[in-house]
């Protein structure tokens, strides 16, 4: 059993993370405690994550929510992040931390404090009014202060620091492209963020969520991660209900993930395939003629199970649904493009209803748990050993370290044929 990287209780090789020397297939969901700003509700919400079989949660920590004024930090009451992490530990949920400085998340100012935006001599995110990036030490000083203060609150919850810790990864920045045509992100900025959190006490693996499979900051971080959003509804449909999403678009956007990332330099080519944000729905805009229920129906109850299985067929062993529970935009927490509800058409609806989507997710997570050791160490098989008598049924096959084979089937045939026959390698036909 090879463990290429060792940071104490959290290790990894090309295939998966090892936690306490055991391979883990991590399936998580996003949670925004600041969209459920009553800490009495956090445990009940997170219990639904466990009910769905999730073993991990990624959490955006909101700078502006915790530093409402330049000289004021608040980590008590409904901003008590230590209490939140204690709940995660008690429920057995591993945690991926994402504390910005920028978090997007359709929240006002992307999570930045308003008092910071009001300072005319500070280029937030090193971005000048000309949209050119130029390293700004004043902005960086504020970032360093926020991160040092925040890490001081949460560092004791790292699995690398104590046996029952829950934090297994720490994200710096958010969807910050290293290169987009000519303009790119600042290397010095990302290097300083990494140095800052390490000096403050972060000892778990550091990662970034690339905006897509774009090779951003690969080599600077410990684990290369990328986000994946595949299907979007038409915001200006000619008629309702919304037309069904196109199968060919789903296939086109998901079929080359593994081969693309494995062509990158290390660590991407030598670490687990990792999706910090995997589409768990989508947010709605002002003036759209349909609501979240229509958006839920557009994706369908099995969409999240389908997309997770598809990612698993590409060798992904760390994935987290964005969102699993969206919550509510209280006060002025939302940015101008979204309204009060942040339901996200997620598996756990805004009013905490456990939808059938959650039950389908559980089917996938129970399978992952049952075959975790084998499922978290697989290679692709080019020549399938089973065949179907209908096109577009068998779409992937993987083989584990011990020879166990996993066959991935989905009914994407365009003739809506519901019955088909499988022929196994020994000639046996099913049914």
pLDDT digit string, tens, across residues 353-409 = 999 999 999 999 999 999 999 999 999 999 999 999 888 888 999 999 999 999 999
Kindly provide the residue ranges of all beta strands, DSSP E only, lying in 80-199, ordered along the sequence. Answer: 94-98, 167-171
Answer whether residue 6 shows pLDDT above 80. Answer: no
CA distance 15 to 315: 8
For position 217, what pLDDT does the model report? Answer: 97
Answer whether residue 167 shows pLDDT above 70. Answer: yes
Between 128 and 112, name the one with better pLDDT.
Answer: 112
The domain 5-377 having CATH identifier 3.10.580.10: the answer here is: no
For position 419, what pLDDT does the model report? Answer: 87
For position 1, what pLDDT does the model report? Answer: 36
For position 95, what pLDDT does the model report? Answer: 99
For position 2, what pLDDT does the model report? Answer: 43
Answer whether residue 425 shows pLDDT above 90. Answer: no
- Residue 427 three-state SS: coil
pLDDT, tens digit (0-9, with 9 covering 90-100), for 60-82? 999 999 999 999 999 999 999 99
If pLDDT is split at 50, 70 and 90, which confidence band does 107 have? very high
For position 272, what pLDDT does the model report? Answer: 99
- Residue 90 three-state SS: helix
- Average the pLDDT over 418-430 and give the result: 88
- Average the pLDDT over 96-121 and give the result: 98
Q: Is the dihedral of CA 114, 120, 122, 125 positive or negative?
A: positive
* The two structure tokens encoding residue 229: 């959003």
- Average pLDDT score over the chain: 95
- Average the pLDDT over 146-170 and give the result: 98
Cα–Cα–Cα angle for 296, 301, 306, rounded to 5 degrees? 115
Contacts 24+ apart (CB under 8 A), 408-412: 408/309, 408/310, 408/312, 408/313, 410/306, 410/309, 410/310, 412/247, 412/250, 412/251
pLDDT, tens digit (0-9, with 9 covering 90-100), for 182-220? 567 899 999 999 999 999 999 999 999 999 999 999 999
For position 30, what pLDDT does the model report? Answer: 99
CA distance 159 to 137: 33
Entry pTM = 0.96
Pairing of strands 22-24, 17-19: antiparallel
* Domain extents in the chain: 5-377, 381-431
């Amino acid at each position: 059993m090879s463990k290429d990287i060792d940071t104490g209780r959290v290790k990894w090789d090309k295939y998966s993370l090892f936690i306490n020397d055991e391979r883990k297939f991590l399936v998580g969901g996003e949670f925004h405690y600041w969209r459920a700003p009553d800490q009495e509700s956090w445990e009940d919400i997170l219990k639904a994550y466990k009910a769905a079989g999730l073993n991990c949660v990624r959490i955006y920590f909101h700078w502006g929510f915790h530093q409402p004024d330049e000289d004021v930090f608040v980590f008590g009451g409904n901003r008590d992040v230590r209490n939140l992490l204690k709940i995660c530990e008690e429920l057995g949920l591993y945690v991926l931390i994402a504390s910005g400085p920028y978090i997007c998340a359709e929240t006002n100012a992307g999570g930045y404090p308003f008092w910071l935006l009001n300072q005319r001599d500070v280029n937030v995110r090193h971005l000048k009014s000309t949209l050119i990036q130029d390293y700004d030490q004043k902005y960086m000083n504020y970032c360093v202060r926020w991160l040092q203060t925040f890490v001081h609150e949460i560092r004791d919850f790292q699995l690398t620091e104590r046996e029952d810790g829950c934090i297994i990864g720490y994200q710096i920045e958010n969807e910050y492209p290293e290169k987009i045509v000519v303009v790119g992100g600042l290397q010095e900025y990302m290097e300083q963020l990494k140095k800052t959190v390490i000096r403050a006490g972060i000892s778990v693996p550091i990662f970034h969520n690339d905006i897509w499979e774009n090779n951003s900051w690969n080599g600077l971080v410990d684990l290369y991660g990328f986000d994946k959003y595949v299907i979007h509804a038409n915001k200006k449909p000619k008629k309702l209900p919304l037309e069904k999403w196109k199968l060919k678009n789903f296939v086109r956007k998901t079929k080359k993930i593994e081969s693309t990332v494995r062509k990158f330099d290390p660590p991407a080519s030598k670490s687990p395939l990792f999706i910090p944000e995997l589409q768990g729905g989508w947010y709605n805009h002002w003036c759209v003629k349909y609501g979240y229920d229509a958006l839920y129906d557009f994706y369908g109850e099995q969409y999240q199970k389908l997309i997770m299985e598809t990612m698993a067929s590409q060798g992904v062993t760390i994935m987290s649904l964005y969102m699993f529970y969206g919550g509510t935009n209280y006060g002025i927490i939302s940015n101008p493009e979204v309204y009060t509800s942040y339901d996200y058409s997620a598996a756990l609806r805004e009013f905490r209803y456990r939808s059938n989507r959650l039950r389908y997710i559980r089917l996938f997570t129970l399978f992952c748990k049952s075959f975790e050791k084998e499922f978290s160490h697989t290679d692709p098989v080019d020549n399938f050993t089973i065949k179907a008598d209908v096109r577009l049924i068998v779409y992937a096959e993987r083989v584990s370290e011990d020879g166990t084979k996993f066959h991935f089937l989905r009914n994407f045939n365009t003739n809506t044929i519901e019955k088909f026959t499988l022929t196994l390698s020994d000639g046996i036909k099913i049914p």
